[in-house]
Amino acid sequence: MDSKKIEQLLAKYWECETTLDEEKTLREFFNQPEVPAHLNESASLFRYFEQQRQQVITDVAFEGRLKKAMAPQKGKVRS
* pLDDT for the residue numbered 45: 95
Nearest-10 crossing angle of helices 20-30, 40-54: 100
Of the two residues 55 and 12, the one the predictor is more confident about is 12
The 8-class DSSP code of residue 33 comes to S
78 or 9, higher pLDDT:
9
pLDDT at 75 over 80: no
Closest CA to 42 of 15, 70, 10, 71: 10
Global pTM value = 0.67
Closest CA to 44 of 56, 54, 35: 35
d(CA 24, CA 53): 13
Residues 18-34: tens digit of each pLDDT:
999 999 999 999 999 99
